[in-house]
Amino acid sequence: MFHSKIIGIGHFVPEKVVTNHDLEKLMDTSDEWIQERTGIKERRFYDPPEKGSTAIMAYKASLIALERAKLKAKDIDAIVFATLSPDYYFPGSGVLLQHMLEMDTKPAIDIRAQCSGFIYALSVADQFIKTGMYKRILVIGSETQNLALDLTTRGRGMGVLFGDGGGAAILEATDEEGKGILSTHLHSQGEFADVLCIREPGSNKIGKSVYENMHLNHDNIHPQMDGQLVFKNAIKRMPEVTMEALAANNLTTEDIDMFLPHQANLRISQMVQKFLRLPDEKVYNNIQKYGNTTAATLPILLSDLWEQGRIKEGQLFALAAFGSGFTWASTLIRF
């Protein structure tokens, strides 16, 4: 059976930096509150003249990943694209990226698992590679969130948390034992769907068109969240699913060289780190400069480390995520 090795990673974030002080001008908030409660100092907002930003950021990240993998887009067999902020209501952003990369008629699959989206996407791609169906898959996490945020005082609970960006990873089949993605572990709990969501445009209002919904339910077009409930579940599920991955591979936390937690809140990452008893040098956070970029978070973390030369052959990386759905997931990757 084949295994999936990551042979290239890239990311793209928009140029526009939005600091906490910039947000102070839009709503009743403060740099001190945001930094103390979340660790975030700034985030990037996509603000270009072009439309369809999620696919464009994915495209720019993909070109970097392809270059680092020394491949061309034509060498890729399929795309798996995770996002909660697709360019269109339908079709998914995967086909837009497939077209931009001029990938003939190669398949594009869209994944909707929010902050866990990138690990879900890795898992789907990994299964295709293991079975031998595809040899090389482009896995994407990309998000344009600023357009949905309510950047007034009414929406400040959510508005300060999120940023835009895109990340790409290229998986390739290898027959080397013990290398690449060792396993993926996925969970969901839909009873909590309403705890963190954007309700519109949705199909759940019988007899009303999407267009009417958007106008009748102004509140529902912005993200809604019970922050404390999300927080409590995140600090429970992320360590739990990381331990599940370690147990499945007969490994312990001491075997981890680098732990990458989904970047929802620095306090969540620090608590998860504490539960796992990991020293600071084995955990990487970048929420300070990007905020929560949802499905893009993990590939951006990986690409950041790649650029810093901090991904070394043989190292064991553990990735864990938690988010809307609820969904949560983990993976272990041996580079």
> Does 287 participate in binding ligand COA (rule CB under 6 A)?
no
Q: Which position among 3, 11, 222, 262 bears the catalytic label?
A: 262
18 binds ligand COA (CB under 6 A): no
Q: Is 34 or 97 the residue whose CB approaches ligand COA more closely?
A: 34
Task: Please tell me whether residue 231 binds ligand COA under the rule CB under 6 A.
Answer: yes
Phi, psi angles (nearest 5°) of residue 3: -125, 160
- The upper half-sphere exposure of residue 307, i.e. CA atoms within 13 Å in the direction of its Cβ, equals 11
Nearest approach, Cβ of residue 73 and ligand COA (Å): 31
Residue nearest to ligand COA (CB): 227
Which H or E run includes 169?
strand 165-174
Q: How far is CA 173 from CA 7, 59, 88, 225, 334, in A?
A: 10, 22, 32, 39, 14
Comparing CA positions, the residue from 155, 168, 165 lying closest to residue 18 is 165
**85 touches ligand COA (CB under 6 A):** no
Among 141, 163, 167, 323, binds ligand COA (CB under 6 A): 323
119 binds ligand COA (CB under 6 A): no
Active-site residue flag, 115: yes
- 112 in contact with ligand COA (CB under 6 A): no
Least distance to ligand COA, CB of residue 328, Å: 10
Using rule CB under 6 A, residue 38 touches ligand COA: yes
Phi, psi (rounded to 5 degrees) for 171: -100, 140
The C-alpha angle with vertex 302 and arms to 297 and 307, in degrees rounded to 5, equals 125
| Helix/strand/coil percentages in the chain, nearest 5 | 40, 25, 35
Q: Which parts of this chain interact with ligand COA (CB under 6 A)?
A: 29, 33-34, 37-38, 115, 156-157, 160, 196, 225, 227-228, 230-231, 234, 264-265, 268, 292, 323
